[in-house]
Structure 1
């Protein structure tokens, strides 16, 4: 659902590079704050702060991020908002239609920018594709896409689809602090797409990770029935809801057996409201095919 004109697409070195560019542009436009989701990655919040903006977390409830809490404009309104609307990281819920409409309305009223990270957009299992926010208003949404999940994190290749009035400013910012965006990488990806090989690769990968997701859910039902997996309709990770007070002990037990998992509290912004329950964030895409059964067995053994 993205509406893209070639003149408004900027190639960058992944999501982090794109966020740095937008942070610089927002700061030059006079913004002082950037609204973020209550749950996310601290590296992104640190980058926002280094750009001279204060990351302000939006409230989060059982239905996801509450965009209705954005200010109505004036000095208290953020200059933009960073969202993962297709598959919120790490909670795994899509942004509800009424909240999608609310944030687009906010951007139109205030002139703020929506920074849309299309996180896990390619890897969906039990649902239809979620349309991009950018398709609702290309003049107010910056769309971020990368090859990190579909191909490899080490391939530092991303792209921004920019509103027409923002494109010149972001391009100027990139010219002043350009990272290497390898031409050979771009040409290879272009050939991969136009030949149809990219689409075949994504479809095959989707089946592979769906099998892992299903094996995880089945193992939990058999070995740890008190643990519930949520946010599993897309992506490479699941949030496992734990009995109260067990999060840190489970993380330690898993680490003792050589398994790296993280508690949900690690991904909560310091200014955000604590989660209603303890939970683990478990990535099931990393283990090799040979290591996956053992990793799953170890995980189940560490759960209460």
Structure 2
């Protein structure tokens, strides 16, 4: 490739060089596996100081595109998904289609398919950091010792090696002991909810309470299984147990270690209240989706540690390695264990065995724990980059849930609807999710912003784009004359579970749970 240092702006040579190398990696001129010139050699060719080159290489390293290999030099390890460059021209149809109506079952597929130069969607890990070399090494180790019989149909509960490894992993990272025979391997938390739904339906359960705000995707899975989902408010200490009790729902789905999307950790007093609720016959479904990713203190133990017979615990490697693996686990109360195994058997005869054995090898060798330590450092830097960008470009936004996880929630005291803001951002090439998607009852506008999968450079550019879109919308709103008197609204529609709960007033005897408590405080843990 040809590099002319005369094209570099004054005072920006390192950034210019990093950008040129990034382009070359993206378009294949520097393919994955190729080695960059030694910094001293390239500095001499460009007639610049060696510091200019080492700084450019450091930026590419932080972005995850290259890695140092000691005497092997600096090697290209990952290409950007698209070549960096100017944003694509605004596209009006896709944003309107994604954000223009009540989100339906295909809304997340539509959002993933929408083109964007910067993806700040929550729930996406750093896929460029997937440990390919370690995975291949573990795969070779497994294949070398695999017998012919191991290639047959496996145990529907999961490979014994992985169930043992998961039991050890949960004891080390989540603070509770489980016998390998108590562990059921599933195709992610989504399948865990589907299998549990079958068992609960047999018990006559028709309602599963959910957090508000809480995951739209989880609610959609429960709706698909025929459940209604009364919302329970979340405040700065977690789910409001008094409101849960007022609902009358016998089961609740919670994210207690890092509530989605607020980031709140269920407080000690709330845990004790929840224990009393569960002790009176309630069941907690614990979605432990990203609790390992905690930066300022050790992760809080799982609820399962104190309520083994009242908590159905679920987890996966989707936020730690990759969603494409579709590997998760369930540790259920003894009264549901056989029903879940039967549901899994008749769903798919069990997960694919080879990936289970490879994952077990990664766990037993310590590689998965090393990967977690690596990701914590990287995500910490990216979280800090996002917080700094929000302070610079969106100073009126309140940041929630910064102590852990892979995303931040921000709220505004006013301004345009968050769905309109998300649509405007997507039209400018930045993808995110509006907070209102994850609410059942009304609340302040906001956004849920993922930072794990984006580089600090992209994070800063994405937040700046969000701010520019919001300013443009505010300016247009200020220059638009006020509308005439509103037309008479029709009767509330109850053709959608979410719409029904928005229309039903709070009733202490059951039905929809009420709103209670304050919003999480700034930088809440």
Relative to the length of structure 1, the TM-score reads 0.90
Classify 1:258/1:71 alpha carbon distance in 2 versus 1 (closer, same or farther; 3 Å). Answer: same
Classify 1:248/1:50 alpha carbon distance in 2 versus 1 (closer, same or farther; 3 Å). Answer: closer
Match in the other structure for 1:10: 184
CA contact (8 A) 1:134 1:141 kept: yes
Match of 1:227 among 397, 400, 404: 397
Once residues 366 and 350 of structure 2 are traced to their aligned partners in structure 1, the CA distance between those partners, rounded to angstroms, is 27
Higher strand share: 1
Once residues 234 and 328 of structure 2 are traced to their aligned partners in structure 1, the CA distance between those partners, rounded to angstroms, is 28
Once residues 221 and 41 of structure 1 are traced to their aligned partners in structure 2, the CA distance between those partners, rounded to angstroms, is 26
CA contact (8 A) 1:261 1:281 kept: yes
Match of 1:262 among 424, 433, 437: 433
Once residues 154 and 17 of structure 1 are traced to their aligned partners in structure 2, the CA distance between those partners, rounded to angstroms, is 14
The Cα of 1:3 is off from its aligned counterpart by 2.4
Residue 59 of structure 1 aligns to a residue whose secondary structure is strand
Match of 1:211 among 345, 370, 381: 381
Q: What is the count of residue pairs matched by the alignment?
A: 296
The Cα of 1:248 is off from its aligned counterpart by 4.2
Match in the other structure for 2:333: 163
The Cα of 1:240 is off from its aligned counterpart by 1.4
Classify 1:38/1:293 alpha carbon distance in 2 versus 1 (closer, same or farther; 3 Å). Answer: closer
Match in the other structure for 2:199: 25
Deviates more, 1:20-29 or 1:52-61: 52-61
Once residues 50 and 255 of structure 1 are traced to their aligned partners in structure 2, the CA distance between those partners, rounded to angstroms, is 28
The Cα of 1:91 is off from its aligned counterpart by 0.9
Match in the other structure for 2:461: 294
The Cα of 1:60 is off from its aligned counterpart by 2.6
Match of 2:216 among 34, 42, 45: 42
Classify 1:236/1:179 alpha carbon distance in 2 versus 1 (closer, same or farther; 3 Å). Answer: farther
Once residues 118 and 278 of structure 1 are traced to their aligned partners in structure 2, the CA distance between those partners, rounded to angstroms, is 26
CA contact (8 A) 2:399 2:411 kept: yes
Match in the other structure for 1:86: 257
Relative to the length of structure 2, the TM-score reads 0.54
Is 2:347 the counterpart of 1:173? no
Match of 1:144 among 314, 319, 327: 314
The Cα of 1:293 is off from its aligned counterpart by 4.7
CA contact (8 A) 1:92 1:238 kept: yes
The Cα of 1:50 is off from its aligned counterpart by 2.9
Residue 286 of structure 1 aligns to a residue whose secondary structure is coil
CA contact (8 A) 1:229 1:238 kept: yes
The Cα of 1:107 is off from its aligned counterpart by 1.4
The structure with the larger Rg is 2
Once residues 86 and 125 of structure 1 are traced to their aligned partners in structure 2, the CA distance between those partners, rounded to angstroms, is 13
Match of 2:267 among 76, 96, 100: 96
Match in the other structure for 1:200: 370
Is 2:235 the counterpart of 1:61? yes
Residue 302 of structure 1 aligns to a residue whose secondary structure is helix
Aligned runs of 1:127-142 on 2, under 5 Å?
127-142=297-312
Once residues 299 and 259 of structure 1 are traced to their aligned partners in structure 2, the CA distance between those partners, rounded to angstroms, is 8
Q: Which runs of 5+ in 1 are unaligned?
A: none
Once residues 184 and 293 of structure 1 are traced to their aligned partners in structure 2, the CA distance between those partners, rounded to angstroms, is 40
CA contact (8 A) 1:227 1:241 kept: yes
Once residues 414 and 391 of structure 2 are traced to their aligned partners in structure 1, the CA distance between those partners, rounded to angstroms, is 19
CA RMSD of aligned residues (A): 2.0
Once residues 367 and 463 of structure 2 are traced to their aligned partners in structure 1, the CA distance between those partners, rounded to angstroms, is 31
Classify 1:303/1:245 alpha carbon distance in 2 versus 1 (closer, same or farther; 3 Å). Answer: closer
Deviates more, 1:239-248 or 1:224-233: 239-248
Deviates more, 1:285-294 or 1:54-63: 285-294
Residue 384 of structure 2 aligns to a residue whose secondary structure is helix
Residue 300 of structure 2 aligns to a residue whose secondary structure is coil
The Cα of 1:211 is off from its aligned counterpart by 0.3
The Cα of 1:47 is off from its aligned counterpart by 2.2
Match in the other structure for 2:492: none
Q: Which runs of 5+ in 2 are unaligned?
A: 1-174, 472-525
CA contact (8 A) 1:21 1:174 kept: yes
Residue 324 of structure 2 aligns to a residue whose secondary structure is coil
Match in the other structure for 1:278: 445
